[in-house]
Structure 1
Amino acid sequence: MDLPSHQRSPDVTDPGSAAADAADRLLLDEAAEVIAATPPGQLVVIDDVDGALTLGAADLGAQGIRVHQDLITGERALAAGAEARGRTDRFTSLPLGPELFAGATTVLLRLPRSVDRLAEVAGLIAAFADPGVTLIAAGRIKHMSVSMNDVLRTVFDRVDVSHARQKSRVLTSTGARPSAARATLGDWPRTADHPDIGLRVAAYGGVFAGTKVDIGTRFLLENLKRLPKTATAVDLGCGTGLVASALATADPELRVLAVDRSAAAVDSAVATAAANHVSDRVEVVRADGLETLADGSAELVLLNPPFHNDAAVSTAIARHLFAEAARALTQGGELWCVWNSHLQYRPALEKIVGSTRQVARNNKFTVTSSRRR
């Protein structure tokens, strides 16, 4: 079928990177008859990366589509594509939860790379959708595993696997078991105590590192005592919010803003702040970079930048976040960044932010401080 050809937004991968891929096309081809037969208001689309599935379903006649996209940038790409195609009246964006799935008879899912994310979403679908719901999920084979089938079978009676096409495959699940699914909902968020850093981490499915402390963040935490004294700080790309909670715990006078474009990360950061009793001083916002901050308003920004965009290795997101920090920092304000040393970000930090010095380095990571010009 003719899938949306709008560009990914923001375009932080290769120029011309389209919103749809082979897995989206296969899913819509496999699900076309089911979509066409689904009554208005009973179709749900989950984790549609940039809107191709939702707009493709709308082109097949679907109306009253309920949509949840983890990334705020994905929501904006869908909105832009819908505006261009005259489909803005076909869908409503909702948070991940019971309202999203209530009474749904068909769910389209772009398979996450995280098995935890799949477990959380599948549990919600089986618990709150119509008992006769059909879940049709697609992904790239290189990111799929047999464990995904096992996860689906914990809350569905049957999982059928399609033939492969263009290195993609579809899993179709039927026979929802609501009681079994509801028993899994208490698993979220998962929590873990880390006595070595004196913090508890809370994580919803799919958030980076889950309840673990990734080694880059751990190295940054080891150097927090070297930070300048400020009244406010920003944890940019906060993930589970571990850095934000560590900052607030270490300085009872500090107020911290934690920012991430992922809804799962934002929910996790809220839960982590609550678990560490610092919710009164940690504000968590879902946003693209530091768009909610005025120019020249941030005293201190901390960042452990991702080097993947969806499944693709990319340093473009890091540079986007460097530019956001540069814009938002006060003159003389600092960006503290931890990064894999082989990525050699220092020249980019010097160019985008300002004078950059090495704070610490181990066999894998570098921590730098960049002072805004």
Structure 2
Amino acid sequence: MSESGTHDQSAPRNTNDFDFDRLRRRPDIEAENLFAVDASDRLILDEAAGAIAAYRSGGVVVLEDRYGALTLGAAALHDARGIRVYQDALSGEYALDSNASGVNLTDAYRSLPLGEELLADAHVVLLQLPKSLDALDEIAGAIAKYAAPDVIVFAGGRIKHMTVSMNEVLRRHFGALNVRPARQKSRVLIASSPLATSTTDWPHSEKHEDFDLVVRGHGGVFAGTSIDIGTRALLEVLDRMKPDAERAIDLGCGTGVLAAALAAQRPLLRVLATDQSAVAVASARATVDANALAERVTVVRADGLSGQADDSADLILLNPPFHIGASVHAGLAEKLFIDAARVLAPGGELWTVWNTHLGYRPMLTRIVGSTRQVGRNTKFTVTVSTGR
């Protein structure tokens, strides 16, 4: 075993032997400043080359692979098979499947939720570091709990998104941590020797007396167990939303606060909460259960409103994200507006809260229908759009 913790291999292939430029982000937003692969993907694969080759038959797990670079790189460069993959974003799963089809590697991996089946007997873990320390804590705790005792974790990212606190989180769960030299503004942390004392207490829980709600959140979910300002702005006008609605949707539900509050306020309303994030869906289900609303709120993981019929909802609530990775981009909000316009019944209402400086009102009017302002301050604007 080498000093870095990797198994020696006589001639592992390097990342120059795989055409990463073929990988695409679709169905996620594509733009000139948004990429499917970066230098950190290549560095993780190079650092882990010997270990991947040594455990190529079922011993490799890939976590938070954004669009498939790590999974397909391990398969193409080192003949790894039986790779188990966890990606929080459903769009990432779809992109991996699409990219795998393009290079004939659809049989090299399978996608699983974070847990024992994903990590049991894992000897090599490739991890794109999440930006959230809470997400890293839950992931690291799961690896330490379920993976093989000799597991080696190759956790990498772009240096501008990495902090020393990530080292401390990993040390909470692993006895050894090797900080590798940087390359092309990227770095890999190699963690090994999982600690028997490693513990995890996710999801966390918080009672909000002002809204009579218990919020539960897994590591990395937006706003954690707090209620963010934008969501509060919508909560304050729940009683003004379409009073005769029979079916409502919390689109991009996060921890499920809006869905739970709406269901609690209107016992006869059928509520669907949907998000493409696995962490958000798990958090929303936990929030719904904590408030004894499971019979009235259905939580699903979906890319936007895929799977929902046209003209099928009377009321949709939306607090859209405006970041794609580290970039500010209106494309994701526009995609959600288009989905909402399709699913919203004629005369139905889309209630949206958005950062005031983004000026979404003309876009909402064009895509959904007549849009009026309900509230506004220097930070947030609340609008209601009526479906055509």
The answer for the alignment partner of 1:47 in structure 2 is 64
The answer for the alignment partner of 2:134 in structure 1 is 116
Amino acid at match of 2:356: S
Q: Give the secondary-structure state (helix, strand or coil) at the position aligned to 2:149.
A: coil
> Using the alignment, how far apart are the partners of 2:174 and 2:345 within structure 1?
53
* 342-351 or 161-170, larger mean C-alpha shift: 161-170
Scaled by the length of structure 1, the TM-score of the pair is 0.97
Match of 1:126 among 139, 144, 147: 144
> Using the alignment, how far apart are the partners of 1:90 and 1:311 within structure 2?
30
The answer for the alignment partner of 2:176 in structure 1 is 158
Q: CA deviation at 1:3?
A: 4.4
Amino acid at match of 2:170: L
Q: Give the secondary-structure state (helix, strand or coil) at the position aligned to 1:180.
A: coil
> Using the alignment, how far apart are the partners of 1:76 and 1:112 within structure 2?
19
Change in Cα spacing, 1:353 to 1:245, as seen in structure 2 (3 Å) is: same
The answer for the alignment partner of 1:138 in structure 2 is 156
The answer for the alignment partner of 2:261 in structure 1 is 246
Q: Give the secondary-structure state (helix, strand or coil) at the position aligned to 2:225.
A: coil
The answer for the alignment partner of 2:4 in structure 1 is none
Match of 1:219 among 224, 233, 236: 233
Q: Give the secondary-structure state (helix, strand or coil) at the position aligned to 1:29.
A: helix
Q: CA deviation at 1:16?
A: 8.1
Q: CA deviation at 1:262?
A: 0.4
The C-alpha deviation readout for 1:46-101, integer Å capped at 9, x for no partner, is 01011111000001211110001111111111011111101111101111101110
The answer for the alignment partner of 1:31 in structure 2 is 48
Q: CA deviation at 1:39?
A: 4.1
> Using the alignment, how far apart are the partners of 1:275 and 1:11 within structure 2?
32
Say yes or no: does 1:12 pair with 2:29: yes
The answer for the alignment partner of 2:365 in structure 1 is 350
Equivalent residues of 2:269, 2:296 under 8 A apart: yes
Scaled by the length of structure 2, the TM-score of the pair is 0.93
Say yes or no: does 1:235 pair with 2:250: yes
Q: Counterparts of 1:330-369 in structure 2 under 5 Å?
A: 330-369=345-384
Q: CA deviation at 1:309?
A: 1.1
Equivalent residues of 1:118, 1:151 under 8 A apart: yes
Q: Counterparts of 1:224-373 in structure 2 under 5 Å?
A: 224-229=238-243, 230-373=245-388
Taking only the aligned residue pairs, the percentage that are identical comes to 56
Amino acid at match of 2:142: L
> Using the alignment, how far apart are the partners of 1:256 and 1:269 within structure 2?
12
> Using the alignment, how far apart are the partners of 1:39 and 1:7 within structure 2?
25
Equivalent residues of 2:41, 2:70 under 8 A apart: yes
Say yes or no: does 1:206 pair with 2:220: yes
Give the gaps of 5 or more residues in structure 1: none
Amino acid at match of 1:294: A
Give the gaps of 5 or more residues in structure 2: 1-14
Q: CA deviation at 1:362?
A: 2.3
The C-alpha deviation readout for 1:243-299, integer Å capped at 9, x for no partner, is 100101111111110000000000000000011111110100100111111111111
Amino acid at match of 2:154: I
Q: CA deviation at 1:15?
A: 4.8
Q: CA deviation at 1:223?
A: 1.1
Say yes or no: does 1:81 pair with 2:96: no
> Using the alignment, how far apart are the partners of 2:71 and 2:110 within structure 1?
10
> Using the alignment, how far apart are the partners of 2:330 and 2:314 within structure 1?
25
Aligned residues between the structures: 369
> Using the alignment, how far apart are the partners of 1:55 and 1:149 within structure 2?
27
The C-alpha deviation readout for 1:130-166, integer Å capped at 9, x for no partner, is 0000000011111111111011101101111111122
Amino acid at match of 1:97: G
